[in-house]
Amino acid sequence: MENNKISQQKIEQLAEKKLLGTISDEEDFILSEWLNQDVDGELDQPSKFTFIKKKILTKIQWELGWNRANPHAKNIWKIACAIIVVGISIIFYEKNTHKQPSILTIHQNNYEILLTTASGKKIELDSIKNSVVRQGRNYAVIAKNGTLIYQRKGKDGATFETNEIATPPGKSIQIVLSDGTKVWLNESSSISFPAVFNNDYREIKSSGEVYLEVAKVLNPKGKRVPFIVKSNNQSLSVLGTHFDVNAYDIQNTKTTLVEGKVEISSNQKKHLTLLPNQQAQVDVSGADMKKKEVDPFKLISWTKGYINFENASAQEVLNVVGRWYHVNLIIKNNKTNQTYSGKLNRNLPLTNTMEALRFMHINFEISKS
């Protein structure tokens, strides 16, 4: 069945089944495919409002974790009229957003993503599109399709020039280092690294949150070159792997492994080994190290443009949202221990996200401090 041939009545039936939890796998696939289609022009105007409302409600269920076990699920139809105002703006926003900006800039503010060279020169990256950003003795820095690429030139040795890239709230960037390692730098984060790595050792320093897909590199003797990441109170060593380091909270640094193997050492000389689907947590002293099983793909959903939270308190949700939009959101009159799981689209304006939080029954206010 082609998605553009599905009738409005059929989609409405599937949407209701989705909300009730009675949808089959085949029907779920059909509805999922349709939700990714542009419905503009498919519907007659008189029924379009009702149709869009059902689409919004279905998307909200998926994005915010609405289900039959959710204590607020029974109220979902009661808030439909309120959600429609937010939802229509979401649909129009998504429909009119056809491509990503040159450097990934989601929330408009007056702060720039900055590249600081070894000499202290600061280069603003937001306005640079497809061009050469900087030339070094044996390397070039190129902005291409929203990614900053460090390209090694020739076979000369390492360049002991430390570069630093820092992101402000509401902005993130993807970087390719000189060895081919891919880096996703989240908002309010920084990373420092040599413009060109040497043949036997690779080390970077990070703050905030960074996701890395480390390239496997051999030295001239055929041995794998380790890759070291230092942040807060820990140092981790890998050979070639995919992992995320979240050091926003200096009291608790989290490392999540997607693929490969990671060896973590604290500043108290304690050690821990991570395998895929595990997360390590190291406290500020470095004395307490522990690990647990997690779903790593939920935790790295920020690289795909989402704010994800798993069994989070209301204040924890507000902290993550507030950091992205550079506002201080504080809990207001919260009398429950309700936790929240789901994801929010980071591409949306703050006003839309705030409405979504309210519909999740999170009461909050914006602090002026």
Distances (CA, A) of 270 to 50, 273, 287: 59, 11, 7
Whether the pTM exceeds 0.75: the reply is no
Distances (CA, A) of 77 to 10, 58, 60, 219: 19, 11, 12, 62
Q: List residues bridging with 231 in a β-sheet.
A: 234
Cβ atoms < 10 Å from Cβ of 85: 10
Q: Helices (DSSP H) in 309-349: which residue ranges?
A: 314-325
Q: Helices (DSSP H) in 162-313: which residue ranges?
A: 296-299
Cβ atoms < 10 Å from Cβ of 301: 17
**Phi, psi (5° rounding) for residue 268?**
-100, 15
**Both tokens assigned to 321:** 């949202």
Count helices and strands (H / E) in the chain.
7, 22
Q: Which CATH class is domain 114-299?
A: mainly beta
Contacts of 36 (CB under 8 A, 6+ apart): none
Q: List residues bridging with 235 in a β-sheet.
A: 230, 265
Count of alpha carbons within 13 Å of 28, Cβ hemisphere only?
9
> Strand pairing of 173-176 and 182-185?
antiparallel
- Contact predicate 158/194, CB 8 Å: yes
**Phi, psi (5° rounding) for residue 154?**
75, -165
- The DSSP element (H or E) to which 176 belongs, if any, is strand 173-176
> Would you kindly state where each structural domain of the chain is located, as residue ranges?
3-96, 114-299, 305-367
Q: List residues bridging with 159 in a β-sheet.
A: 196
- Gap between the Cα atoms of 245 and 280, Å rounded: 10
- Contact predicate 210/232, CB 8 Å: no
Q: What is the pLDDT of residues 311-349, one digit of tens each?
A: 888 888 899 999 999 999 988 876 667 888 877 888 888
Over its length of 369 residues, how does the chain's per-residue pLDDT go in tens digits? 444 466 766 776 776 666 556 778 788 777 767 665 544 444 444 444 455 555 555 455 444 444 434 444 444 443 443 333 333 333 333 334 433 333 333 344 568 999 999 999 999 998 888 899 988 888 899 999 889 999 988 766 666 789 999 999 999 999 999 999 999 999 999 999 999 998 888 999 999 999 999 999 998 899 999 999 999 889 999 988 999 999 998 889 999 999 999 999 988 888 999 999 999 999 988 888 999 999 999 899 999 888 888 888 888 889 999 999 999 998 887 666 788 887 788 888 888 788 788 877 788 988 866
- Contact predicate 308/65, CB 8 Å: no
Three-state DSSP class for residue 160: strand
Is the four-CA dihedral 263, 264, 270, 273 of positive or negative sign? negative
pLDDT at 21: 61
- Contact predicate 172/261, CB 8 Å: no
Contacts of 84 (CB under 8 A, 6+ apart): 49, 52, 53, 56
Helix axes 25-35, 8-20, angle to 10 degrees: 120
